[in-house]
Structure formats: structure tokens, C-alpha cells
Structure 1
Amino acid sequence: MRTEYVEAVLSLVRLVPPGAAVAYGDVAEMLGSGGARQVGSVMSHHGSSVPWWRVLRANGEAPQGLEAEALAFYLQEGTPLLGRYLDFLRTGEGRWRVDLTQARWAPADGDFDLIDLIAERLERRLHKMSAPDDEMTV
């Protein structure tokens, strides 16, 4: 995974406010690059330094294996939840998920300006890396 893409994903995730969430595909769409799997890979390998619990599957499920830790963050931040999360807290049993209909981050104008800057910087860096060193003339 290119360092430029990793940096862009992490920069965007830092913008997601407490109590809000986005799906992996949302991040890719906002960046205009990659897809849900690429964002998921970045988050699983490099996401520990950012609020990783705010980025999840499109169905609202927390990252696999981190459900209990994520649930603590969701409850602390007041993130809207669906399902039997109280049972999960008490017994470790019960299915729950983030209510993405309510929790999905709706960036404000200032956020869109920052997102655009991140996406444009990524595009420039990726384009620069893929440009040929020498133009061949025929």
C-alpha cells in the first residue's frame, strides 16, 4: 500500500467527529481513490493512531475482533446503536451495530474543504509518482 494513500486515509479519519461514523467505502469515495477493501487494509495495519472505531463496515458492524473495545468508545461518544448491545456488555453475547442511518458523518462546508485538500494532495502525489520520467518523442 502506498504511503500517500495511507496518509490520506488517516488524515480523513481524523476529521470524523465523536459520535459519528463512516463506512470504509465512504472514506474511499471522499478521497476519490481506492475502495472499501483498500481503506479497510489501511485501517487494520495503520489505524491505531486515529479514531479507528469511527470507520466500519457498510452494515454498521464494528471491526472484527475489536467489538468490545469499539462498543466502549461508541457508548462514551453517544454513537447511535441498534441491537442488543447491553446484553453484549453484560455477557459478551448479543448482536449489535452502529446505526449508520443516524450516525453517518455529514461533513460541514469546512470539513469538505479539508477533505478536498486531502484528496487533491493524494491525487497530485499519485499522479506525480506515475508520470514518466522522460517524455519520448516519435
Structure 2
Amino acid sequence: MRAEYVEAVLDVVELIPAGHVLSYGDIAALLERGGPRQVGAVMSTHGSAVPWWRVVRAAGQPPLCHEATALVHYREESTRLHGETRGQHPSWRVDMAAARWNPGNDDLDRIDAVAARLHAAEGPPSDPAGAMSEPRDGLGA
């Protein structure tokens, strides 16, 4: 994994406010590079220095094997959850409709600056068809 990509992913994660989350795929889309697996690889090896619990799987499940610790953070930050969080086999996830971060214009400017640094370091994407062709105004639900 290139150092520039690692840095860009971690920079975006640091921007996610308390009580909000992004999916691995959301971060890849914002950077217009990689995909959920690449973002997951960065988070699994380098994510301990950033609020890792704010990056979840697309359906709202927390990072594998870190559910209990993530739940503590979600409760501290009042992150909206679905399901039962008690019992021997808890069945819960982050409420993506309520908790997904929709960056405002200032945050999108910061993210665009991170992405621009990454793009300059890496050059054009290897699959131009996969790049976002329309301007974005935040993330979908």
C-alpha cells in the first residue's frame, strides 16, 4: 500500500465528526481511489491512530473483532444505533441513515484537497471509467 494512499485515508477519517460514520466505500468514493477493501486494509494496519470506530461496513456493522470496543465509543459519542446491544449475542449496527456523515462545503473542500494531493502523487487512475464524473454534493443515504 502506497504511503500517499494510507495518509489520505487517515486524513479523511480524522475529519469524521464524533457521532457520525462513513463506510469504507464512502471513503474510497470521496478520494476517488481504491475501494472498500483498500480502505479496510489501511484501517486494519494503520487505523489505530485515528477514530477507527467511525469507519464501518456498508450496512453499519463495526469493524470485525472490534465490536465491543466500538460500541463503547458509539455510546460515548451518542452515535445512533439499530438493534439490541445487550445479551450474549448482541445484534446491532450503526443507523446509517442517521449517523452517516454528509460533509458540508468546508469539509468537502478539505477532502478535495486531500484527494488532490493523493491524485498528484499517484497520477491518473488506472481505470478512468471508475472515476466519479459528476461533481458531488455530499454522500447519498
TM-score, normalisation: structure 2: 0.86
Report the Cα distance in structure 2 between the residues aligned to 1:82 and 1:118, rounded to whole angstroms.
Answer: 32
Instruction: Map 1:54-93 to 2 at 5 A.
Output: 54-85=54-85, 87=86, 91-93=87-89
1:13 aligns with 2:13: yes
Alignment length (residue pairs): 125
TM-score, normalisation: structure 1: 0.88
Q: SS of 2:65's equivalent? A: coil
Report the Cα distance in structure 2 between the residues aligned to 1:58 and 1:111, rounded to whole angstroms.
Answer: 21
Match of 2:45 in 1: 45
Match of 1:122 in 2: 118
Q: Segments of 4+ in structure 1 off by > 3 A? A: none
Once the two structures are TM-superposed, the CA of residue 127 in structure 1 deviates from its matched residue by 1.6
Q: In structure 2, give the amino acid aligned to 1:3.
A: A
Once the two structures are TM-superposed, the CA of residue 106 in structure 1 deviates from its matched residue by 0.7
Report the Cα distance in structure 2 between the residues aligned to 1:62 and 1:56, rounded to whole angstroms.
Answer: 5
Q: SS of 1:116's equivalent? A: helix
Q: SS of 1:41's equivalent? A: helix
Report the Cα distance in structure 2 between the residues aligned to 1:74 and 1:8, rounded to whole angstroms.
Answer: 24
Q: Among the aligned pairs, what percent are the same residue?
A: 52
Report the Cα distance in structure 2 between the residues aligned to 1:14 and 1:65, rounded to whole angstroms.
Answer: 21
Q: SS of 1:72's equivalent? A: helix
- Equivalent in 95, 108, 112 of residue 108 of structure 2: 112
Larger radius of gyration: 1
RMSD after superposition: 1.3
Once the two structures are TM-superposed, the CA of residue 92 in structure 1 deviates from its matched residue by 3.8
Report the Cα distance in structure 1 between the residues aligned to 2:8 and 2:97, rounded to whole angstroms.
Answer: 25
Q: SS of 2:103's equivalent? A: coil
Once the two structures are TM-superposed, the CA of residue 108 in structure 1 deviates from its matched residue by 1.1
Q: In structure 2, give the amino acid aligned to 1:117.
A: A
